[in-house]
Amino acid sequence: MIEWFTWLQLAIAVPGGLLCVILGLVGRKPTDLTMGATALVELMLIVQLAAAIAAPLAGNDATGSLLEFYTYLISAILLPVAAGFWALVERSRWSTVILGVTCLSVAVMLYRMSQIWNVQGS
Amino acid sequence: MIKSQTDVPVPSSRVSGIGRLLIAIYGVLALAATGRSFVQIVRAFDDAPLAYALSALAAVVYIVATVALIQRSALWYRIAWITISFELAGVLVVGTLSLVDPALFQHATVWSIYGSGYVFIPLVLPLLGMWWLLRHPVAPAQSRA
C-alpha cells in the first residue's frame, strides 16, 4: 500500500462522496459527474490492489494482518460496482445518494486499510 | 411501478424512495459484518469462540434483513421485523454486556459498545428500519407471496 496514493484516494473519495450525497438529496438523478466520481474511486481501488500486491516486492510490507487488509480491499472494490449497477438500473435521486454513501464507505475502509498496513504492529 | 422525482405520500412499494437508501446501507453493513467475521474466524476462531460466533451470526442476520427489506411479501415483511428486532436486541444486549463485563467480549464484534466501531450505525439502523417497516406495512391481502 502506497501511503501518498491512499491519501490521494481519500482526497477524492470523501469530497466525491459528499458531492453525490448532496446532489442526490437535492433531487439529481445519477449523472456523468456522480457516476464518474464513483468510477474514479473504483479505478483507484484497482490501482491500490495492484500496488498492494507489488509493494512487498519492493520491501514495503504490511505491518498488520494481510488477511484483514485484503478482506477490506476486496469488499471495497465490490461496493462501487454494485452501486454503479444500481444507479444504471434505477435512475432516481436515491441512486445518487447511494453512490455517495458507497464512496464514503470506501473512504472509511481505506482509512482502516492504511491503519492495518502502516500503523498496526503485529 | 411509478417512479417520481418527488416523494410520494403513499409509496407503492417498500422498495421505493428513501427505502432504497436504507437497503443500500443495510447491504454495506452486511458486507462489513461478513468481512469482519470471515477474518476473525479464519485467523483465530479459538481465541474467542463466543464473540466470533456472534460476529458470524450478526453477519448472517444482516444479510437476511437486507434481503427481507428488498422482498415484498407478507412473509418477508415478518422476516424483516424478526431480523431487525434481533439486531436491535443484539446491539443493546451485547453493547451493555461489553461495557458491564468487558472480559466476556474481549474481542470486538459488530455490536460491542453499541457498535462504536461502526460509528454506531448498528444501533441507529434497526430503529430506522423499524420506522420504515411501520410506515410501509404489507397487508397479507395485497402481498404477492
Domain boundaries, chain A: 3-119
Rounded to the nearest integer, the mean pLDDT of chain B is: 79
Chain B positions touching A78 (Cβ under 8 A) are 31
Measure the CA angle with vertex B135, ends B134 and B139; round to 5°: 75
The band of B115, judged by pLDDT with boundaries at 50, 70 and 90, is: confident
Residue B54 in this model has a pLDDT that exceeds 70: yes
The residue ranking higher by pLDDT, A110 or B11, is: A110
Question: Which residue in chain A is spatially nearest to B119 when comparing CA positions?
Answer: A108
Query: Buried (b) or exposed (e) across A14-47, using 16+ Cβ within 10 A?
Result: bebbebbbebbeeebbbeeebbebbebbbebbee
Q: What is the mean pLDDT of residues B66-91?
A: 90
Determine whether the interchain pair B43/A93 forms a contact, defined as Cβ–Cβ distance below 8 Å: no
Q: Rounded distance, CA A52 to CA B29, Å? A: 25
CA distance B113 to chain A (A): 19
Determine whether the interchain pair A67/B5 forms a contact, defined as Cβ–Cβ distance below 8 Å: no
B67 burial type by CB count under 10 A (0-12 exposed, 13-18 middle, 19+ buried): middle
Of A67, A95, A97, nearest to B39 by CB-CB distance is A67
Q: Is the ipTM of this complex over 0.85?
A: no
Instruction: Name, in order, each residue with C-beta under 8 angstroms of A21's C-beta and a sequence gap of 6 or more.
Output: A96, A97, A100, A101, A104
Fold of A3-119: Four Helix Bundle (Hemerythrin (Met), subunit A) (1.20.120)
Query: B7-31 pLDDT, tens per residue?
Result: 444 444 545 677 888 888 888 888 8
Residue B105 in this model has a pLDDT that exceeds 70: no
Of B20, B21, B39, nearest to A71 by CB-CB distance is B39
Short-list A105, A40, B105, CA closest to A113? A105
Give chain A's radius of gyration (CA, Å): 15
Chain A positions touching B18 (Cβ under 8 A) are 94
Q: Rounded distance, CA B9 to CA B7, Å? A: 6
Which of the residues B21, B47, B110 would you substitute to probe the A interface, choosing the one with the greatest number of A C-beta atoms within 10 Å? B21
Interface check B45 vs A, CB under 8 A: no
The answer to whether B42 and A67 are in contact (CB under 8 A) is yes
Q: Is B36 left (phi over 0), alpha (psi -120 to 50) or beta?
A: alpha
Which of the residues A69, A71, A102 would you substitute to probe the B interface, choosing the one with the greatest number of B C-beta atoms within 10 Å? A71
Percent of chain B with pLDDT over 90: 15
> A65: which 3 cell numbers?
494482518
Determine whether the interchain pair A72/B35 forms a contact, defined as Cβ–Cβ distance below 8 Å: yes
